[in-house]
Chain A
């Protein structure tokens, strides 16, 4: 049995009103992190976390190619996301769009709900730093995404964290 090496927990910051930045270090070379990020059968093992089982992980890894992830929550509710790859530098960087399918009521609103994920893989001393910069079309969408991690739905909050809050709490 290999002990699993975790290089730390995810760090989330809010660099701008319409951005979310997620950073995490992994004890593995970047080509493996990239592989785990882009191989359907591997994505299925981690992406849905403990929130449900992943039933679909379609990845057409080329510029203009589409991806689609579907997860079934324990209560049977299906949660689906899809998007398109805009930029791919193997083992280095992926830029892709993402939209939560439950949010699409009106096709005209798709642009207003689509976020852009900038994912980078940087290796140093055998460890990989992963960054996911989520660029949201509006601050409201950013807040909706942030709230998706919460049990209670706080509808409004603002990005004031790094300089003051963290140092004081």
Chain B
């Protein structure tokens, strides 16, 4: 499984603001390309180009329905980005867990010393 390549590509794919708009639109459900063209106010070739990039990294899937091509979102390739933020979040959480301990002590001390002094 070429995970590293896919990961890097998914990150690149969502770096483009228009492509994020497309993903946002698809987050609301499956849509035909005309619908995306109308929503984004771009020419169809541009939208198709963005959709191609998104398909290549697996963020978007397509199926034929009659004469229409229906596009839908696949969030799986975004997981590494999610994990990236979660990792940073964990380091702050650990730090704040220690701060909780300090705060409990300060609260106790304050209650003991001048709790009636409010």
Interfacial residues of chain A within 27-42, with CB under 8 A of chain B in the complex: 27-28, 32-33, 35-36, 42
Q: 5 closest pairs, A vs B, by CB?
A: A168-B75, A46-B98, A149-B88, A160-B14, A149-B91
A166: chain B residues within 8 A (beta carbon): 82
The reply to whether A49 and B75 form a contact with Cβ atoms under 8 Å apart is no
The residues of A with any CB-CB pair to B shorter than 8 Å are 2, 4-6, 9-14, 20, 22, 24, 26-28, 32-33, 35-36, 42, 45-50, 145-151, 154, 156-161, 163-169
Decide yes or no whether B73 CB sits under 8 A from chain A.
yes
Decide yes or no whether B85 CB sits under 8 A from chain A.
yes
Closest to B110 in A: A32
**A164 vs B59: C-alpha distance in the bound complex, in angstroms?**
11
The residues of B with any CB-CB pair to A shorter than 8 Å are 7-8, 11-12, 14-15, 20, 23-24, 27, 73, 75-76, 78-82, 84-104, 106-108, 110
B102: chain A residues within 8 A (beta carbon): 36, 42, 45-46
The reply to whether B100 and A26 form a contact with Cβ atoms under 8 Å apart is yes
The reply to whether B98 and A164 form a contact with Cβ atoms under 8 Å apart is no
The reply to whether A11 and B11 form a contact with Cβ atoms under 8 Å apart is no
Question: 19 extra interchain contacts, Cβ-Cβ under 8 A, other than A45-B101, A160-B78?
Answer: A4-B100, A10-B92, A28-B104, A32-B106, A46-B99, A49-B94, A147-B84, A148-B91, A149-B87, A154-B84, A156-B8, A156-B11, A157-B81, A158-B14, A158-B15, A159-B81, A165-B79, A167-B27, A168-B78
Given the contacts A154-B84, A164-B75, A167-B27, A28 and B14 also touching, CB distance less than 8 Å:
no
Q: List 22 A-B contacts (CB under 8 A).
A: A9-B96, A10-B89, A14-B85, A22-B89, A26-B96, A27-B103, A36-B102, A42-B102, A45-B98, A146-B84, A149-B87, A149-B88, A149-B91, A150-B87, A154-B7, A154-B84, A160-B78, A161-B81, A165-B75, A165-B78, A167-B27, A169-B75
